[in-house]
A and B are shown apart, each in its own frame.
Chain A
Amino acid sequence: MSAKKSILIINQSAPYGSSNGRESLDLALTCSIFEMPVSLLFVGDGLYQLINNQSPEQLQMKKHEAMLSALPMYDIDQIYVTAEDLSENGLTENDLAMPVTLIQRDVIASLIQQNDSVLTF
């Protein structure tokens, strides 16, 4: 049997304004169930998905941050954020809902090369 294909999911959409973030998580969890190695990159507006203390009760939507907290249970721990996106938004790792691996923006090209498939949301 051939080795499982690895997948990189690039998240570049803010939460709540569109369903992209939720759909990307559905995909990540599904791939993980099929034992595919999953990496998640949150870049550009995608960084906003990770900001902590979200409270969408008034919008009557599910808390995105809470859905992200399911990732470790699915053994998804390759979660990347760029240091440039954090600093451009005046944020630090303490503003994020979960532990991430900080990378420089110029590492993204090698992340794309290392993975067999890449999908963007």
Chain B
Amino acid sequence: MTLHVINKTPSNLPLYHRMLNGLSAGDGILLIEDAVYAGLSAHQALFEGLPIDIKLGALEADIQARGLTHRLSPTFTLVNDKAFVQLSCEHDKVVSWY
């Protein structure tokens, strides 16, 4: 199981495609920094056709800073800093996409 951490806005489409291409069933995706805008409902087409059982999360502090708390797609779980550490430990590998 791998945790994929991405930090660029969804306008960096090739980066998102590279990440999605590297996904396996059971992996997690965590949106941090400018990537949290990919959690807007309007961008959910990006995450269509994922392998089974992919967990989607977004870093809470970055969501709040950017005014997205009430605009996040319900498919994403809010992850605080403590949970980020826990996720990093739970997964065998952490891959950063930037």
List residues of A whose CB falls within 8 A of some B CB. 14-17, 44-45, 48, 51-59, 61, 65, 88-91, 95
**Complex contact B33–A16 (CB within 8 A):** yes
**Complex contact A59–B61 (CB within 8 A):** yes
**Complex contact A95–B66 (CB within 8 A):** no
**Complex contact A90–B37 (CB within 8 A):** no
**Complex contact A56–B42 (CB within 8 A):** no
Which residues B14-44 have CB closer than 8 A to chain A?
33-34, 37, 40-43
- 15 further A-B pairs in the complex, CB-CB below 8 A; given A48-B66, A89-B43: A14-B9, A17-B9, A45-B11, A48-B37, A51-B66, A52-B67, A54-B67, A55-B65, A56-B65, A57-B64, A59-B61, A89-B42, A90-B40, A91-B42, A95-B71
**Complex contact A55–B67 (CB within 8 A):** yes
**Complex contact B67–A58 (CB within 8 A):** no
- Number of A-B residue pairs, CB cutoff 8 Å, is 62
Shortest Cβ gap from A93 to chain B (Å): 14
B70 neighbours in A (Cβ, 8 Å): 53
Bound form: Cα–Cα A51–B33 in Å: 15
Bound form: Cα–Cα A56–B33 in Å: 11
**Complex contact B37–A56 (CB within 8 A):** no
**Complex contact A58–B9 (CB within 8 A):** no
Bound form: Cα–Cα A61–B61 in Å: 11
Bound form: Cα–Cα A55–B69 in Å: 9
Bound form: Cα–Cα A59–B81 in Å: 11
**In the complex where A14-B34, A45-B34, A90-B40 touch, is A51 in contact with B9 (Cβ < 8 A)?**
no
B68 touches A (CB below 8 Å): yes
Shortest Cβ gap from B67 to chain A (Å): 4
Bound form: Cα–Cα A4–B13 in Å: 40
Bound form: Cα–Cα A55–B33 in Å: 14
A48 neighbours in B (Cβ, 8 Å): 9, 37, 66
Shortest Cβ gap from B42 to chain A (Å): 3
B69 neighbours in A (Cβ, 8 Å): 53, 55
